[in-house]
Structure 1
């Protein structure tokens, strides 16, 4: 216990001095030091590796023996600013593991305060328990924990999620096929499963991953045909027609589109959650914790009423499993988009602009020159040159983002900043200056299109402009944002009901364009 001013006897001395007509300052006693109670994060009694974990919430209740304490000031810095009234609990969850020092001030009605500090250690998260379909051998468990798969009736060499990327595993909707391994997860405690999925037939229920009891799957991550939603479900009992604690996606699932799914069960909070492309969709509290599933983990099907069913139809890749509930931040990192091309336009030579990604989509220059850029240098075009890759860079029927800086020399002359070329004169995607405005464009067909979706933004000559075009294949939207080097303001335009199609044409920059282009990025996925 510590007191800022120390002695209540000072009040007696001051009173005696006043009787003798002497003015003496009155010493005010500070309140008794605060203490706290909690259920998870404690200063003693935790395991050697620490208490709780990232994202694991706890409730702190502060108290002091002094009756005149009116509030507590608390936090994890030396001079915290968060305040709470006496008797009111606060909830806290750590964002990172490691040592923590909790600072708590007891503050009385006179504004006097006393500090206590409490040290505890937040346990580091458990590493992933299994990782499949992420390397050259789809049967191999990349986590190192030995949960290798037995594959049956699968195509292990389907096209990857990105052009030139690792192949994916194909499933043809046959319940006799799939991938299996012995028990992986403790289904009575926190669990997480996640994968990139591409569904090609949504006419019936589909399961991407599950773990089996004797009669029922303890959990299922997949698709519900009745609602046309992505789902994650926990069965309460190992029995036919068991009640399911199910969470669903907000929007309908779109077939043919790569989508990232994550299902979590947090045994501490009792919540089941579903994330789609890194965004939480729905969460429900679980009354029954489920049952201990001692059977196999299946990829590509589920167990319902003692029978294998809900066979996956489509592709799966990068599937992971944890014996804990991962945090929202970890989910966002799992669903990260793939950068498939990045041209800085400052490290090439007279004929080549180097792609700094591992995909090595270097651009060959024709009639383009080096000049000032938004950074150290960029490409200059006079309306007659271009830069192009030797192969396709994007799947334009999947979600993608093109991010580039451009500067017009003048207005009135149309030109293309970036395009992925299609057959004949029809490109599946182009980012252009149409002579008056910037325009992100996608036609509705490769031959004789009847419609072109355009998201537009204002164009200003002589000014480096940041252009970001995004196609969201799940939401069916095409967006264009326009910003400038010297202002934080961004103009954004979005058009709906867009249906992209794919071409294996090359990526080009600067065709018929008059001005500068710099720092071009191509990403497979949606970047907010």
Structure 2
């Protein structure tokens, strides 16, 4: 369905709901473009391109400031800051990404998000997690969750995959190609028009990723154990 392999931030999104399948750039929010030639000061910028990546081809680095990348038109014009969803979040879907955490915090840090479906570092237990938020029937929301078997560590590249199976209502997290023991059940998804975010779980600056993200792929459907293991192995 879609992939973002930095440094260029380009995406081919085969069947995105709004029909704009080519050049779905991932643009740094609020006001920096993901430009391979950018030579500003990383110390004063919430996100920037970096040669540090799991595959040697570059990644995108976030310092925990108010930033994320989103699949808009790839310009810095605020007129283009409208929601353009890549996936139908009420249907089965899969996220995969490589992430390297810089800082253990007590706040959540989003890796890949679209609407109610969030692949992230969980601040309250310091583990990798996958959450599907859905209405609880009384005006609020409940999170259906899957989490990693062990705590997250800093300075190591980790392959994360999150799967939502709309037919069974299950959500499942994989770490480095391995299915994690704790899965979520009873999820049904929720169709929203929200854009795909990389490096945050919403527009809240408290939930920005602290570290580097690379090689993001999203799929409209369920990847099985073998396919996720192959994604981790680069096959």
TM-score by length of 2: 0.77
| Count of matched residue positions in the alignment of Structure 1 and Structure 2 | 198
**Pairing of 1:10-21 with structure 2 (within 5 A):** none
1:267 aligns to what?
Answer: 166
- Cα deviation 1:342-375 (Å, max 9, x = unaligned): xxxxxxxxxxxxxxxxxxxxxxxxxxxxxxxxxx
Instruction: Note closer, same or farther for the CA distance 1:135–1:314 as it changes in structure 2 (3 Å cut).
Output: closer
- Cα deviation 1:71-125 (Å, max 9, x = unaligned): xxxxxxxxxxxxxxxxxxxxxxxxxxxxxxxxxxxxxxxxxxxxxxxxxxxxxxx
Displacement of 1:174: 1.3
- Of 27, 49, 56 in structure 2, the residue corresponding to residue 156 of structure 1 is 49
2:215 aligns to what?
Answer: 318
> For the residues of structure 1 that align with 2:49 and 2:186, how far apart are their CA atoms?
40
Task: Kindly report the root-mean-square deviation, in angstroms, between the aligned alpha carbons of the 2 structures.
Answer: 2.3
- Of 145, 152, 169 in structure 1, the residue corresponding to residue 60 of structure 2 is 169
**Pairing of 1:124-523 with structure 2 (within 5 A):** 129-132=1-4, 134-137=5-8, 139-143=9-13, 145-146=21-22, 147-152=24-29, 153-162=46-55, 165-175=56-66, 177-181=67-71, 182-203=84-105, 204-212=107-115, 218-237=116-135, 242-303=141-202, 307=204, 309-336=206-233
- Cα deviation 1:130-181 (Å, max 9, x = unaligned): 100x2541x200456333222234211232225xx21111011112x11012
Instruction: Note closer, same or farther for the CA distance 1:241–1:315 as it changes in structure 2 (3 Å cut).
Output: farther
Report if aligned partners of 1:271, 1:283 keep a CA contact under 8 Å in 2: no
Point out which structure has higher relative CO (alpha carbons under 8 A, 6+ apart). Answer: 2
Structure 1 or 2: more helix by fraction: 2
Structure number with larger C-alpha Rg: 1
Displacement of 1:337: 6.3
> For the residues of structure 1 that align with 2:113 and 2:139, how far apart are their CA atoms?
16
Instruction: Note closer, same or farther for the CA distance 1:307–1:161 as it changes in structure 2 (3 Å cut).
Output: closer
Structure 1 or 2: more strand by fraction: 1
Report if aligned partners of 2:62, 2:209 keep a CA contact under 8 Å in 1: yes
Query: What secondary structure is seen at the aligned counterpart in 1 of 2:188?
Result: coil
1:508 aligns to what?
Answer: none
Query: What secondary structure is seen at the aligned counterpart in 1 of 2:212?
Result: strand
Q: Could you tell me which runs of 5 or more consecutive residues in structure 1 were left unpaired when the two chains were aligned.
A: 1-128, 213-217, 339-528
